[in-house]
Amino acid sequence: MSPERLEGEKYTYAGDIWSLGLIIIEMLTGHFPYSEKGTKEFWSLLEEISRLPSPNVPENDPRFSAEVFDFLRSCMQKHSHERESALSLLAHPWIL
C-alpha cells in the first residue's frame, strides 16, 4: 500500500505506481523491501514507510543498471504528486 493510502488518503493511480515499484524491487532482489515485522504488523509497516527512505535496488550493485535504479526512484517517491505517470514511465529508457 502506498504512503498516502496508509495515511488515509483516497486511492489514485499514483498508488498503483508505488505498488509497481515495490513489485519490481521484490522481483529483482528476491525479497520484500521492508522488514519481516513490517510485513506482519500494520503499524510497523506504516512506521517504516514513513521513517525510512523509499526502497530501491542497491545503487552500486553491478546486477542493476542506472536506468532500473532511476525507473524505481520515479515509482517510489513518497509524495504521490512527485511520482511519474504510467504514460511517462512507458517512455523511460529502462522500458524502451
pLDDT digit string (tens) for the chain, length 96 residues: 889 988 889 989 999 999 999 999 999 999 988 877 666 788 888 888 888 999 999 988 999 999 999 999 999 999 999 999 999 999 999 999
pLDDT at 15: 95
- Where do the domains of the chain lie, and which CATH numbers do they carry? 3-90 (1.10.510.10)
In the three-class reduction of DSSP (H, G, I as helix; E, B as strand; rest coil), residue 5 is classed as helix
Q: What is the pTM of this model?
A: 0.90
pLDDT at 82: 97
- 65 vs 57, 58, 86, 87, CA distance in Å? 10, 10, 20, 21
Residue 77 φ then ψ, to 5°: -70, 130
Q: What is the DSSP string of 7-74?
A: TTPPP-HHHHHHHHHHHHHHHHHSS-SS-HHHHH-HHHHHHHHHHSPPP---TT-TTS-HHHHHHHHH
